[in-house]
Amino acid sequence: MTISIRSVEKQFGRYPALGGVSLEIAEGELLALLGPSGSGKTTLLRVIAGLEFPDSGQVLFDDQDVTFASAAARRVGFVFQQYALFKHMTVARNIAFGLDVRKGKDKPSKVEITRRVDELLKLVELDGLGGRSPSQLSGGQRQRVALSRALAVQPRVLLLDEPFGALDATVRKSLRKELRRVHDATGVTTIFVTHDQEEALELADRVAILNQGRIEQIGAPHEVHDQPVSPFVCGFVGEANRFEGTAAGGRFTSGPVILAAAGAADGAATAFVRPHDLVLDEAGFSARVARVAVQGPLAHVDAVLADGRRLEVTAARDDAGKFSGEVRLAARKVHVFPAG
Amino acid sequence: MTADTVLAPRKRPVAARPPRRPLFRRRSAIPGFGLTLGVTLTLLSLIVLIPLSAVALKAAQLSPHEFIAVAFSQRALAAYRLTFGAALVAALINGVFGVLTAWALVRYDFPGKGVVNALVDLPFALPTAVAGIALATLYAPNGWIGAYLTPLGVKAAYNPIGVVIALTFIGLPFVVRTLEPVLRDLSADVEEAAASLGASRLATIARVVLPALAPAWMTGFAMAFARGVGEYGSVIFIAGNMPYKSEIAPLLIIIQLEQYEYQAAAAIALVMLAVSFLMLFVINAVQAWARRYS
């Protein structure tokens, strides 16, 4: 199912949570809403779910206007950060809930429900745990139950609000892969909210980056990383060294730092350089190496400029030895934005 | 009961285990076990256990025959029926309206909420005799409310209905105050999850909210009921106190005492004690069953 969001606005009191958001989500897509806290990403997700209603704008499922349809009527699957499992029910009853509450001829037979629950338990690799109570499960297992509960109603769209936020790093990683696998197996259009860029870039087909209630950029993970359209995106997605300075005649200058900036408009500007885009170059600006930390195949270098500012360089581990004392650096790639 | 099971020597296969230190010597991360348990047991003995044992001892001075004659006389049986029946009905009424009151207080903001909140606590603080007199005045056939009930053929004072009214007044805060924190902790997530799964509002409340409240509701119900069984001050003013009809068991005990029939009073008290204990025991068992998942 495709979802269209058209100039949606939402205010909480005097605080604008969404300021005119438009977004198209394609059938079967896995989209991440990425942004810092307070950027409106959760509000947007809740508007799509029908748990929150916009002040203006429209939400369309396929071509049907659902802006003010209730959550129950939309047939969406929603997964909460804190799982929101029904504590007084077993795992199987939790998963069956969406089918159990159906009425009349929509309600599947008991046998059918049991079959469906078993199928879902298998899908999330919890076979045999149907009789447990949620309190007997680990956090990761609880979130799997929440996921299969949401999938049980065969939702038209699966919405996840910081689904891995409450879990520790190892479980997060494995659940991330799991979500991708479940998405590929079911083909359901999926939108998830996260503030973890690694999660968004690794998992999603497309990433929408939100800031202060607006979408700053939307695109494939490598697009938002390699071609950021705004200083915010550049600073938020991926690591970046940030310099304030001036651009003039295709050069960006900030104290001792001089960078090639072809095509940048003259005047005050902000430049971003990714740590892995800084390379050793005899023609470059100089910096002093403060510390080299080797991590897996990479070497993270902390360098200090002549004026005391720090910057980060990432190099191949094999080159770690070349970073000592005074070095000269140049940037392979620079993102320059006019200041303001 | 717990103490027994813990103190009982454990029969385990004798493996090469370090010798167990006795329970009271075991080190705990939280100090003060000995002190707090000691104070607790002393206080419970002085305040609860010894007085209650005295009741049993006093009653034991009667021969079995006399005991049955006094404790199970027609008049006593009628009093038990009224006391436990009215307490049960009042607790059930509070069980329904207490949920609504707690719901309104937790879920909504409205003008005068603070006043309503304070009103709920009033039955805790008010001398029960004052409540009884006020209720009797209001609900008497010529009282402000009773005057409107009389034409409808309803008599709300000086009969069992009056007893129920007084016990409802007394028990309300117990249900409201036990439910409030649980209702507040019940996260909106859970209700939203139910809604997103297609449950109607009614289904959400029936299948998700109320079951989550059940253990607390049961606690509140049990406390309101227990309070109702023991209530004396407010009831005697509104009950009319007619033997066999509207005389509660606590009043019967007082009547026996006034006639210097101490053993008879103790016998009736012992029956009430036994029944109350049994009912609280059953309620606790049901509660444990309801909490089996959390």
ipTM (interface predicted TM): 0.83
Residue B240 belongs to a domain:
yes
Neighbouring residues of B170: CB distance < 8 A, sequence distance ≥ 6: B90, B123, B128, B131, B224, B227, B228, B231, B234
| Mean pLDDT across chain B | 86
The reply to whether B205 touches chain A by the CB within 8 Å rule is no
For chains A and B, what is the number of CB pairs under 8 angstroms? 84
A-chain residue closest to B197, CA distance: A98
pLDDT digits (tens, 9 = 90+) for A153-178: 999 999 999 998 888 888 888 888 88
B-chain residue closest to A161, CA distance: B189
Residue B193 belongs to a domain:
yes
Burial B234-250 (b: 16+ CB within 10 A, else e): bbbbbbbbeeeebbbbb
- Residue numbers in A near B207 (CB within 8 A): 86, 97, 100-101
A147/A158 Cα distance (integer angstroms): 9
Residue B71 belongs to a domain:
no
pLDDT digits (tens, 9 = 90+) for B90-148: 999 999 999 999 999 998 889 999 999 999 998 888 898 999 999 999 998 888 898 88
Residue B256 belongs to a domain:
yes
**Is there a contact between A72 and B198 if contact means CB atoms under 8 Å apart?**
yes
B57/B54 Cα distance (integer angstroms): 5
**C-alpha dihedral over A36, A42, A48, A54, to 10 degrees?**
-90
Choose, out of A88, A99, A158, A191, the residue to mutate when testing the contact with B (most B CBs < 10 Å): A88
- The CB density around residue B116, as the number of other CB atoms within 10 Å, is 13
- Residue numbers in A near B190 (CB within 8 A): 84-86
Got the DSSP string for B7-42? Answer: HSPP-----SPPPPPPGGG---SS--HHHHHHHHHH
Residue B241 belongs to a domain:
yes
**Is there a contact between B195 and A70 if contact means CB atoms under 8 Å apart?**
yes
- What pLDDT is recorded for position B3? 45
A144 residue type, one letter: R
Of residues A86, A98, A133, nearest to B198 (C-beta): A98
pLDDT digits (tens, 9 = 90+) for B1-32: 444 444 445 555 555 566 666 655 666 677 78
Q: In what order do the strands lie in the sheet with A251-254?
A: A257-260, A251-254, A241-248, A267-273, A335-338
Report yes or no on whether pTM surpasses 0.90. Answer: no
- Residue numbers in A near B195 (CB within 8 A): 51, 70-72
Alpha helices in B128-159 (DSSP H): 128-139, 146-149
Q: Give the DSSP letter of residue A125.
A: T
**Is there a contact between A51 and B194 if contact means CB atoms under 8 Å apart?**
no
- What pLDDT is recorded for position A331? 92
Phi, psi of A193 (to 5 degrees): -100, 140
**Strand pairing of A189-194 and A157-161?**
parallel
Burial A166-203 (b: 16+ CB within 10 A, else e): bbeeebbeebbebbbebbeebebbbbbbbbbbebbbeb
Tell whether the model's pLDDT for residue B276 goes beyond 60: yes
Of residues A49, A72, A87, nearest to B293 (C-beta): A87
A12 residue type, one letter: F
A84/A51 Cα distance (integer angstroms): 14
What stretch of H or E contains A257? strand A257-260
Residue B76 belongs to a domain:
no
The reply to whether B38 touches chain A by the CB within 8 Å rule is no
| φ/ψ bin of B241: left (φ > 0), alpha (ψ from -120 to 50), beta (otherwise) | left
Is A230 in contact with A337 (CB distance < 8 Å)? yes
Is A194 in contact with A187 (CB distance < 8 Å)? no
- Tokens 């190892």 sit on residue: A170
What stretch of H or E contains A156? none
| Number of residues assigned to chain B | 294
How far does A220 lie from chain B, in Å, by closest CA? 29
B-chain residue closest to A151, CA distance: B197
- What pLDDT is recorded for position B11? 53
| φ/ψ bin of A252: left (φ > 0), alpha (ψ from -120 to 50), beta (otherwise) | beta
Choose, out of A43, A97, A136, A159, the residue to mutate when testing the contact with B (most B CBs < 10 Å): A97
Smallest CA-to-CA distance from A41 within A179, A173, A159, A180 is with: A159
Of residues B200, B290, B292, nearest to A72 (C-beta): B200
A226/B93 Cα distance (integer angstroms): 67
As for how many domains chain B has, the answer is 1
Burial label for A310, CB within 10 Å (0-12, 13-18, 19+), is exposed
Residue B74 belongs to a domain:
no
Residue B286 belongs to a domain:
yes
Neighbouring residues of B71: CB distance < 8 A, sequence distance ≥ 6: B59, B264, B267, B268, B270, B271
Give every residue of chain A whose pLDDT is below 50, as ranges: none
- Residue numbers in A near B205 (CB within 8 A): none
Task: For residue A254, give the 3-state DSSP assignment.
Answer: strand
Token pair, residue A108, equals: 């599947």
- Tokens 């902000």 sit on residue: A270
A52/B251 Cα distance (integer angstroms): 58
- The band of B239, judged by pLDDT with boundaries at 50, 70 and 90, is confident
Is B163 in contact with B248 (CB distance < 8 Å)? yes
- The CB density around residue B40, as the number of other CB atoms within 10 Å, is 10
Is B176 in contact with B241 (CB distance < 8 Å)? no
Phi, psi of A278 (to 5 degrees): -90, 125
The domains located in chain A, with CATH, are 3-233 (3.40.50.300), 241-338 (2.40.50.140)
- Tokens 């910096």 sit on residue: A287
Please report how many Cα atoms fall inside a 13 Å half-sphere around the Cα of residue B24, on the Cβ side.
7
Q: Please report, for the domain that includes residue B196, its CATH number.
A: 1.10.3720.10
pLDDT digits (tens, 9 = 90+) for A28-49: 999 999 999 889 999 999 999 9
The reply to whether B254 touches chain A by the CB within 8 Å rule is no
Show the domain range for B270: 83-125+158-293
Burial B184-216 (b: 16+ CB within 10 A, else e): eebeebbbbbbbbbbbeeebbbebbbebbbbbb
- What pLDDT is recorded for position B294? 55
**Is there a contact between B199 and A50 if contact means CB atoms under 8 Å apart?**
no
